[in-house]
């Protein structure tokens, strides 16, 4: 054998070995944002997500014996970069995690053609709940319309909303406008006045105009749909303008400990609806401590790990992990395909028992997905800032999904109509 032939054979063998090595993993890329104006929100979430899979890889050798490769592709929360990341990772990935409503809306039509599941836990396009129309998209365990509905339910428990005024302070971005259909529906049905107040990306840290409007309008409540630096900007302005914090509520992305720590005691009473809650005593936290923190594999720190967002990152990865596990069991293979993962995500049954088995006690409410329900509608707790940390201010609440089911199907049909040809899952019976 000539030297050239030996080298060629070696190259082929190395190539085959590399290919099989690549295949021996579950590639679940994360379109992360650790940089840019929204990094403050992104970093604890990404750290929680990454640490959970690092723990699974170290403790169990991955899922079903196959390691999870949760490689991050940095988007800086930019929609353009997010689409580039999707294109770059789609050939090998079994799922895409777009991490912004803007990116989700851009990749949604692409995934329907590429047949890759989108996992957008607690964000994205709310009608994705309709699994028949959005067969490849999931916003498990709750969507923005669930959040809007639960916030209104909570406010109604405080007193009749008839004749009241609710200011809706939101990021002037697809994410910020997402709950408007449900809020408008409730305003009409319950007789309160909804005052939308947009905050531009450049105004996130200087919201004096928005809070002057709030002072002039004298709303009974302010509901905030904020992300990133907008939350800290709004909370500091609320304190500055002496708005009663107990009448100020936010979506789950506006409930970050670090944003409230800036105002500390002055933020007491501020509330945020949430489908996750930190439990430092949960077994999963002990396992992360043993397998990730102690070997020095985490990018997080103890303060961040005690917060709401880090634990939410863990839950997000746990949901994906559960979807993978369900698919592996159903199809009797450890290396699942994107379509098999779709089946897995459609058949998650996160009961109290299963939550305990996963070591997530008290960190997420029970929920169940199906072919027709790609959200699961877990419900959530109203959290309240006590001056130092978030505590639960309510029992587990659930969204009245029936109340806006018509809007879900109408918007889903509208989307499918506008994006023809749009493949739907006709085998899926609701």
Partner 1 sequence: MLKDIFINPFVDMVEAPDFLLQVLWEGLVSGVLYALIALGFVLIFRSSRIFNFAQGIMVVFAALTLVGLHSFGVPAWISVLLTLGVMFVLAVGIERVVLRPLVGQPDIILFMATIGITLFLIGGGEIIFGGENKQMITEELGIPTGDTVLEPWGGLLILQHLDITVVVVACALVAALLAFLNYTQMGRAIRALGDDHQAALSVGISLQTVWVLVWFIAGIIALVTGIAWGARAGVSFALEVIAYKALPVLMLGGLESIAGAIIGGLMIGLMEKLFEIYWGQPLLGGNTETWFAFVLALIVLLFRPQGLFGERIIERV
Task: Work out how close the CB of 290 gets to partner 1 at its nearest, in angstroms, rounded to a whole number.
Answer: 25
286-345 positions binding partner 1, by CB under 8 A: 304
Query: Which residue stretch of 34-42, 311-319, 321-329, 334-342 sits at the interface with partner 1 (rule: CB under 8 A)?
Result: 34-42
Q: Is 265 in the site for partner 1 (CB under 8 A)?
A: no
Under the phi-then-psi rule, with left for phi > 0, alpha for psi from -120 to 50, and beta for the rest, what region is 366?
Answer: beta
Task: Work out how close the CB of 5 gets to partner 1 at its nearest, in angstroms, rounded to a whole number.
Answer: 46
Q: Which of 24, 36, 84, 177 binds partner 1 (CB under 8 A)?
A: 36
354-383 positions binding partner 1, by CB under 8 A: none
Q: Is 185 in the site for partner 1 (CB under 8 A)?
A: no
Query: Which residue stretch of 96-104, 127-135, 227-235, 387-395 sits at the interface with partner 1 (rule: CB under 8 A)?
Result: 227-235
Q: Is 39 in the site for partner 1 (CB under 8 A)?
A: yes
**Considering beta carbons, is residue 135 or 210 the nearer one to partner 1?**
210
Q: Is 100 in the site for partner 1 (CB under 8 A)?
A: no
Per the listing, tokens 């009448």 go with 247
CA 118 – CA 376 distance, rounded (Å):
15
For 174, counting Cβ atoms within 10 Å of its Cβ (0-12 exposed, 13-18 middle, 19+ buried), the class is middle
SS3 429: coil
Q: Which of 59, 88, 92, 215 binds partner 1 (CB under 8 A)?
A: 215
Q: In this structure, are residues 239 and 266 in contact, taking their beta carbons and an 8 Å threshold?
A: yes
Q: Which of 24, 69, 213, 368 binds partner 1 (CB under 8 A)?
A: 213
Q: Which of 258, 334, 393, 424 binds partner 1 (CB under 8 A)?
A: 258
Task: Work out how close the CB of 211 gets to partner 1 at its nearest, in angstroms, rounded to a whole number.
Answer: 9
Strands 271-274 and 248-250 come out as parallel
CA 322 – CA 347 distance, rounded (Å):
9
CA 124 – CA 210 distance, rounded (Å):
25
Q: At what angle do helices 229-240 and 39-60 cross, to 10 degrees?
A: 130
Q: Is 194 in the site for partner 1 (CB under 8 A)?
A: no
CA 151 – CA 149 distance, rounded (Å):
5
Q: Is 198 in the site for partner 1 (CB under 8 A)?
A: yes
Q: Is 34 in the site for partner 1 (CB under 8 A)?
A: yes
228-257 positions binding partner 1, by CB under 8 A: 228-229, 232-233, 236-237, 240-242
Q: Which residues pair with 221 in a beta bridge?
A: 166
**Considering beta carbons, is residue 126 or 210 the nearer one to partner 1?**
210
Q: Which of 262, 371, 401, 407 binds partner 1 (CB under 8 A)?
A: 262
CA 163 – CA 417 distance, rounded (Å):
37
- CA–CA–CA angle 354, 360, 365 (5° rounding): 70
Q: Which residues contact 22 (CB under 8 A, 6 or more apart)?
A: 92
The number of angstroms, rounded, from the C-alpha of 260 to the middle of its chain's C-alpha atoms is: 20
Q: Using CB under 8 A as the criterion, which residues of the chain lie in contact with partner 1 when the complex forms?
A: 34-40, 42-44, 172, 196-206, 208-210, 212-213, 215-216, 228-229, 232-233, 236-237, 240-242, 258-259, 261-262, 304
């Amino acid at each position: 054998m000539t030297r050239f032939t030996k080298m060629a054979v070696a190259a082929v063998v190395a190539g085959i070995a590399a290919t099989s090595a690549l295949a021996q993993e579950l590639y679940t890329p994360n379109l992360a944002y650790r940089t840019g104006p929204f990094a403050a929100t992104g970093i604890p979430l990404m750290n929680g997500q990454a640490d959970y899979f690092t723990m699974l890889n170290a403790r169990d050798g991955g899922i079903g014996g196959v390691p999870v490769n949760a490689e991050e592709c940095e988007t800086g929360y930019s929609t353009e970069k997010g689409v580039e990341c999707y294109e770059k990772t789609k050939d090998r990935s079994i799922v895409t995690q777009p991490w912004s409503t803007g990116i989700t809306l851009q990749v949604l039509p692409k995934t329907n053609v590429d047949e890759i599941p989108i996992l957008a836990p607690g964000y994205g396009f709310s009608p994705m709940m309709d699994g028949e129309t959005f067969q490849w998209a999931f916003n498990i365990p709750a969507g923005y319309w669930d959040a809007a509905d639960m916030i209104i339910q909570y406010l109604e428990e405080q007193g009749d909303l008839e004749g009241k005024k609710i200011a809706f302070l939101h990021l002037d971005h697809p994410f910020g406008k997402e709950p408007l259909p449900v809020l408008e529906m409730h305003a009409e049905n319950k007789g309160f006045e909804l005052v939308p107040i947009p905050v531009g990306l450049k105004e996130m840290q200087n919201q004096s105009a928005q809070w002057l409007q709030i002072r002039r309008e004298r709303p009974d409540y302010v509901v905030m749909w904020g992300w990133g630096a907008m939350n800290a900007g709004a909370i500091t302005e609320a304190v500055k303008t002496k708005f009663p914090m107990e009448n100020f509520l936010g979506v789950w992305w506006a409930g970050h400990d670090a944003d409230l720590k800036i105002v500390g005691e002055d933020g007491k009473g501020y509330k945020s609806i949430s489908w996750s809650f930190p439990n430092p005593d949960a077994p999963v936290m002990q396992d992360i401590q043993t397998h990730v923190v102690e070997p020095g594999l985490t990018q997080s720190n103890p303060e961040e790990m005690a917060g709401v967002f880090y634990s939410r990152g863990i839950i997000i990865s746990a949901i994906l992990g559960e979807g993978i596990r369900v698919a592996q069991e159903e199809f009797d293979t450890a290396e699942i395909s994107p379509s098999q993962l779709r089946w897995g995500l459609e058949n998650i049954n996160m009961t109290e028992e299963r939550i305990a088995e996963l070591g997530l006690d008290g960190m997420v409410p029970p929920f169940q997905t199906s072919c027709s329900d790609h959200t699961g509608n877990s419900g959530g707790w109203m959290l309240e800032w006590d001056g130092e940390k978030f505590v639960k201010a309510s029992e587990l609440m659930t969204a009245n999904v029936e109340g806006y089911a018509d809007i879900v199907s109408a918007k889903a049909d509208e989307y499918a109509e506008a994006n023809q040809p749009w493949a739907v899952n006709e085998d899926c019976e609701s």
